[in-house]
Amino acid sequence: MVVAPTVQESAPTRRDWLGLAVLSIGLGLIVLDGTIVGVALPTIIVDLHLDLTEAQWVNSLYAVLLAALLLSTGNVADRWGRKRLFLVGLIVFVAGSLLAAAGSTTAMLIGARAVQAVGAAFIMPSTLSTVNAVFRGKYRAAAFGVWGAVISGAAAVGPLAGGALTQWTSWHWIFLVNLPLGALVFVGAIFTVPESRGKKTRPGVDVDGALLSAIGFGALVFAVIEGPDLGWWTPKNNLTVFGWVWSKDAAISAVPVAFGIAAIALVLFVVWERHREKVQRAALLDLGLFSFSTFSWGNLTAAMVAVGEFATIFVLPLYFINALGLDVMGAGLVLAAMAVGAFLSGAAARHLATKFGAPGTVLIGLGLEVAGVLALALLLGPATPGWLIAIPLTVYGLGLGLASAQLTGTVLRDIPVNVSGQGSATQSTVRQIGSALGTAFAGATLSISLALTLPTALTHAGITGAEADSLADATRQSAGTTIIQLREQARSSSLHDQTVTAADALTIGIANATRWALLIATVFLALGFIGALRLRQASVSTHINSSAPEEVLPS
């Protein structure tokens, strides 16, 4: 009888733990930037005169490009060096933040967000794969607990930080704050983060795979975001791209064509990756990773949860500021209830995982998230007090902290170290696709719902005709900022003594539309809960099947 080789579980050094803190803060910058924009978005809409579709792109382009690039950058991190790519990513991300802060037009801001996304795509897989490579065995659970708590905390703190910076300085500071933080993380990484690489076992660079994945994911999110504005089948408006126009008189909208391109590109991507595997060439995505059931079910769960979480984060600030009339800081304070819940549960997640296991803790967390968002959808109204909204948001935050802290470690538990870059990049890609689709689905649902709820509310208030139609369309396009303008104008608007009545009716309409968007978010979170059930079953099955062979092999 001989003992099978096992993974070395040497205790991490003090430098390793400091490196984990630096990597976690670096990742926190990326996550923070994905959520800090939300609460400032109504102010940005007014300042730069954005419509709802452009506002979605400010949020979504960041996630779309991340999703398109992460598989490629994860592969590069394994080959070129994870620490090196992390440092390069910080430089690019900080440069993008500076450009975003200087943005004075829609095009400049969206372009700067694209630069930020490129930097974030370098940073994200480098952090997770380094943690996966440095911390093994019992230490890995603690490391992933810290890593997950930082993610959930940064995501939850984002709205509060965005509210404070926008209210007390200007929205430009939500990007400028990244400069000193990025510099500190850069210096800390030089001295504390170890360099690591994956083994290069196959020749070549999978350029075709990178292009196909970028086209597929980009076209998918484009179709969902642009559907309400361009028309899901019949064209409603012109689409202009670099001077080329898809006319609204065309036989079919650009949206179903984009869906078709996405489907074809993603199918070809899978076929191409299988071909690369067959001829033993380097592939962008190791499809063999999905032979691990924990990896497959974990990624499906992560995708559904990301859709639900980011749908919620996108619509709530618009509702708080435009419907309830809260200022930016007030909206941030209400959303801070999520941060309170996330921090409380993030600290307790490790202890719960000891008792219920990581998959069981994920289930508890997702159950709380579903309950919190569903309760929130039922409570929302045109005059719901902020303190009442904060209660289900705290419950939601508790679930967010539990699920985020334990899901990542569970998904990557069985992935070999030499492909941890690909494994972590795949999971991060799935999350980013989910976050982009979450914003897209929420924006599309909000737009479609507003097209129904606003005219109905105005009709019930006795305001009809062409002026009502124009008012409803302006409110939908501006994501509700028209309501603020009406209240400021009082009786000096063209509606005269009906101005307040119109503003109240529009507030009812946006509250009802927000409720529908939150119900869509609840559906996706519920699908994530179902996925987590299967993940738990797969985790138990894998543990049973692998425990005996790991201990003893026949001689």
- pLDDT tens-digit map of 122-139: 887 777 777 777 777 667
Q: Which of 29-43, 141-155, 361-375, 420-434 comes out lowest in average pLDDT?
A: 141-155
Q: Rounded CA gap, 274 and 396, in Å?
A: 40
Residue 2 pLDDT > 80, yes or no?
no
Domains and CATH numbers, the chain: 14-195+282-452+509-541 (1.20.1250.20), 206-281 (no CATH)
Residue 551 pLDDT: 38
Query: In the predicted model, what is the mean pLDDT of the chain?
Result: 80
Q: Is 532 exposed, middle or buried (0-12, 13-18, 19+ CB in 10 A)?
A: buried
CB atoms within 10 A of CB 370: 23
Residue 447 pLDDT: 83
The conformation of residue 246, written as its DSSP 8-state character, comes to E
Residue 549 pLDDT: 43
Q: Which of 169-178, 230-239, 289-298, 417-426 comes out lowest in average pLDDT?
A: 417-426
Q: Which of 105-109, 186-190, 471-475, 489-493 comes out lowest in average pLDDT?
A: 489-493
DSSP 3-state assignment of 441? helix
**What percent of the chain has pLDDT above 90?**
17
Closest CA to 378 of 507, 524, 516: 516
Q: Rounded CA gap, 72 and 131, in Å?
A: 19
Q: Rounded CA gap, 92 and 464, in Å?
A: 52
Residue 245 is inside which H or E element, if any? strand 244-246
> What's the mean pLDDT in 81-106?
91
Q: Rounded CA gap, 526 and 523, in Å?
A: 5
Residue 395 pLDDT > 90, yes or no?
yes
Residue 256 pLDDT > 90, yes or no?
yes
Helix locations, 234-327, DSSP H: 254-278, 293-318
Closest CA to 298 of 76, 533, 473, 56: 533
The conformation of residue 419, written as its DSSP 8-state character, comes to G
Residue 282 pLDDT > 50, yes or no?
yes
348-389 pLDDT tens trace: 777 787 788 878 888 999 999 999 999 999 998 888 998 899
Residue 391 pLDDT: 93
Angle at 401 between CA 94 and CA 122, to 5 degrees: 25
Q: Which of 15-19, 128-132, 245-249, 442-446 comes out lowest in average pLDDT?
A: 128-132
Closest CA to 349 of 393, 394, 406: 406
Residue 152 pLDDT: 59
Residue 519 pLDDT: 94
> What's the mean pLDDT in 427-443?
78
Residue 415 pLDDT: 76
Angle at 256 between CA 432 and CA 513, to 5 degrees: 65
What is the pTM assigned to this prediction? 0.75
DSSP letter for each residue of 322-341: IIS---HHHHHHHHHHHHHH
